[in-house]
A and B are shown apart, each in its own frame.
Chain A
Amino acid sequence: MEKKNPKEWYISNFETFEKKLNGGSKTYLHEIRKEALRELASLNFPTFRNEEWKYTDVSPIVNNNFVPAVNTTPAKVDKKTIDQLLFKNFDYHLLVFINGIFSEELSDIKELPRGVFIGSLKRLYKERPQLVDQHLNKVSRIENAFNALNTAYAVDGFAAIIPDCVIVEKPIQILYLNSSETEQILSVPRNLIMVGKNSQLSVITNHRGTGSEKYFSNIVSEILVDENGILDFYKIQYENDEAYHIEKVQAIQKKSSVLNHYNINFGGAIVRNDINSVLDDENIETHFYGLYLAHGNQHVDNHTFADHAKPNCMSNELYKGILDDNARGVFNGKIIVRKDAQKTNAYQSNKTILLSKTAKIDTKPQLEIFADDVKCSHGATVGQLDEEAEFYIRSRGVPQELAKSMLIRAFANDVIEKVKIEPLKEQLNHMIFEHLKKVEILNL
């Protein structure tokens, strides 16, 4: 089949989509979608001429005519398949999305504290439409054609609404499984997370792919953390190696809130993460932890943005990567300290290990400071595994390959040790070795 111009393709598919919506096409949400479609028509997909996308060539994504998941027949996935992909050995609420669409029967949401909503965006819209109308596409605004594409086709995603003064004890595990044997699918989860005053929530998004076809995950996550709220957001991206994956996370934080964002990337042919938080009041803490492990021809681009709008806040960022073969990494860490944001503490560190001569990283801090009484620091290093350390390990009788694995684990440990869910740590360590195809070393 001949490839269509990408914008025409997604615009022409919209009609089919609208027909499937039935009554849904008369809602305010649909107005947001139609507006996004108009924006899609006027925006261009980014190219390397766009400063923000300079090192990431998205043309392989753009030039593929992916079929929006809503326009396809739902894939059949059984519980056993799901089971193999989950993080285990701790208690959690489970939500499963197949190609971005919620699956009630595969999910398992246990008893929740009163007033808490954990479920699909679709159900949230049925139950509390005004809440969705009020926040969707307002926390995050459309910045590029990918965001517009997500919004135009947004029908479902993960939603969590936590009222004030509630601690949700069990983490929420969300499996986004992309799977098709027949079509190249566009999956567009749209997530909305609102943590009330003095409330706490922990979320694990688990992005996976099965099936034989190439696919494109294009995600937007909108997050509000109200006064004194704490959100731990673990993103673990292990799509299959041919997949394309783009996510924009936009958070707005209120007074004395804490956001811990963990951005752990294994899979995908082209991956782009935009992790943004606005520190919109005083005494806020934002932690951005990242780990990227890539091999073959994988390309992984992480853009982060800590927007210090008010005084006395702290942002702390630690991104580490291990790149092998021809893998390519991009890191861009933006920190803006606005005029009012006196007494800001902002730290940033990016460290990359290259395991081969052909792996490459482009790393760039981007600090824009408009206040005078601030503490900011940033640093970036690129290197190899330490040969002296390798010698130390081998001098105890450990073979070279295993010594390297120990050093890989040691390098990743700075980030892994920040993970608060113990059983998740060992599973992440396992994934590091599995993905890099290195001899595994797990602690006794």
Chain B
Amino acid sequence: MLAIKNLHANVEGKEILKGINLLINAGEVHAIMGPNGSGKSTLANVLAGNSSYEVTEGEVYFDGKNILEMNPETRAREGIFLAFQYPIEIAGISNATFLKTALNEIKRYKGEPELTPKEFLDRMKAKAQILGLDETLISRYVNVGFSGGEKKRNEIFQMLMLEPKFVLLDETDSGLDIDALKIVSSGVNIYRNKDNAVLVVTHYQRLLNYIQPDFVHVLFNGKIIKTGGKELALELEDKGYDWVKDEALETQNV
């Protein structure tokens, strides 16, 4: 589904991603862990098409299409969704307006009919319920006055509304209490199926108890320096990153 080949990217002239290779197939869940500043959010932003990040080398194919040529809205319509580490507030625009606009754009792109107002409203209510969000959310402004946890939940709510094929979760677990974490995870698990895929960025193993990954990657200094199964997350939680760095140094991988 997603193939990243030798991806290099700069932020303000500084190289942050230094040759990422990653293959994600439909039905898989991948986790990326790594110390602060290693480039996790950068990778997520580059995949979603944030123009503050400049790709200097490499290729990214999504369902066989080169997405680096596409603007962010086209990538979204193709099915890429980024749950932001820091969601943005949009005063004056209701969640309903925001999501209806987005959903209609996506449907139009796919050549599918728009939802009727009733279908749309029913869908909003159903998805809000899954995430334990109050129905008043529908008319509230996007993320305005939301707590940190509510904002994260709202990202997953948007994901459920837009039904993307590939989801990037950038630290969606940070700032969530244990109940919220369970709710958000169940939202993601409801969404998961054999045709879509998830890339989870996290610092904590606890999220991976709920969203079980098939692969865990360690990102360090702009490169993936180790890949393992879900037991790797436990090991990282236990021992930190130093041993992985040392191991990588030995094999001249850094």
Centre residue among B88, B89, B109, B117 by max chain A CB count within 10 A: B88
A391-B50, A391-B51 are known contacts. Are A396 and B90 too (CB-CB below 8 A)? no
- Residue of B at shortest CB range from A393? B90
Q: Is the CB of B94 within 8 A of A400?
A: no
Distance in angstroms from A399 CB to nearest chain B CB is 5
Task: Among A387, A396, A402, A417, point to the contact of B92 (Cβ < 8 A).
Answer: A417
Q: Is the CB of A396 within 8 A of B102?
A: yes
What is the bound-complex CA distance between A295 and B74, given in angstroms? Answer: 30
Centre residue among B96, B98, B106 by max chain A CB count within 10 A: B98
Interface residues of B in 83-104 (CB under 8 A from A): 84, 87-94, 96-103
B222 within 8 A of partner (CB)? no
A181 neighbours in B (Cβ, 8 Å): none
A395 within 8 A of partner (CB)? yes
Q: Is the CB of B76 within 8 A of A395?
A: yes
Q: Is the CB of A398 within 8 A of B87?
A: no
A392-B87, A443-B97 are known contacts. Are A398 and B73 too (CB-CB below 8 A)? yes
What is the bound-complex CA distance between A412 and B88, given in angstroms? Answer: 17
B31 within 8 A of partner (CB)? no
Some 9 contacts from A to B, beta carbons below 8 A apart, are A391-B51, A394-B71, A395-B76, A396-B158, A397-B73, A397-B103, A397-B162, A410-B91, A412-B92
Q: Is the CB of B101 within 8 A of A389?
A: no
Q: Is the CB of B101 within 8 A of A441?
A: yes
Known: A389-B88, A389-B90, A410-B92. 16 other contacts (CB 8 A): A388-B88, A395-B50, A395-B81, A395-B82, A397-B77, A397-B105, A398-B101, A399-B73, A399-B105, A410-B93, A413-B141, A417-B91, A417-B92, A441-B97, A444-B94, A444-B97
What is the bound-complex CA distance between A54 and B93, given in angstroms? Answer: 38
Contact string against B for A residues 369-396, beta-carbon threshold 8 Å, 1 for contact and 0 otherwise: 0000000000000000011110111111
| Dominant SS among interface residues on chain B | helix
| Dominant SS among interface residues on chain A | helix
- Residue of A at shortest CB range from B143? A392
Distance in angstroms from A353 CB to nearest chain B CB is 14
Task: Among B52, B89, B91, B109, point to the contact of A397 (Cβ < 8 A).
Answer: B109
B49 within 8 A of partner (CB)? yes
Distance in angstroms from A25 CB to nearest chain B CB is 53
- Interface size, chain B (Cβ < 8 Å): 37
What is the bound-complex CA distance between A407 and B90, given in angstroms? Answer: 7
A108 within 8 A of partner (CB)? no
Q: Is the CB of B71 within 8 A of A400?
A: yes
Distance in angstroms from A400 CB to nearest chain B CB is 7
Distance in angstroms from A263 CB to nearest chain B CB is 19
Q: Is the CB of A387 within 8 A of B93?
A: no
Distance in angstroms from A427 CB to nearest chain B CB is 14
A392-B84, A392-B88 are known contacts. Are A443 and B93 too (CB-CB below 8 A)? yes
Q: Is the CB of B158 within 8 A of A406?
A: no
- What 6 pairs across the A-B complex have the smallest Cβ distances? A413-B92, A397-B76, A396-B102, A392-B88, A394-B72, A413-B91
B97 neighbours in A (Cβ, 8 Å): 441-444
Centre residue among B49, B51, B73, B87 by max chain A CB count within 10 A: B73
A123 within 8 A of partner (CB)? no
A414 within 8 A of partner (CB)? yes
A416 within 8 A of partner (CB)? yes
Task: Among A392, A398, A412, A443, point to the contact of B105 (Cβ < 8 A).
Answer: A398
B198 within 8 A of partner (CB)? no
A412 neighbours in B (Cβ, 8 Å): 92
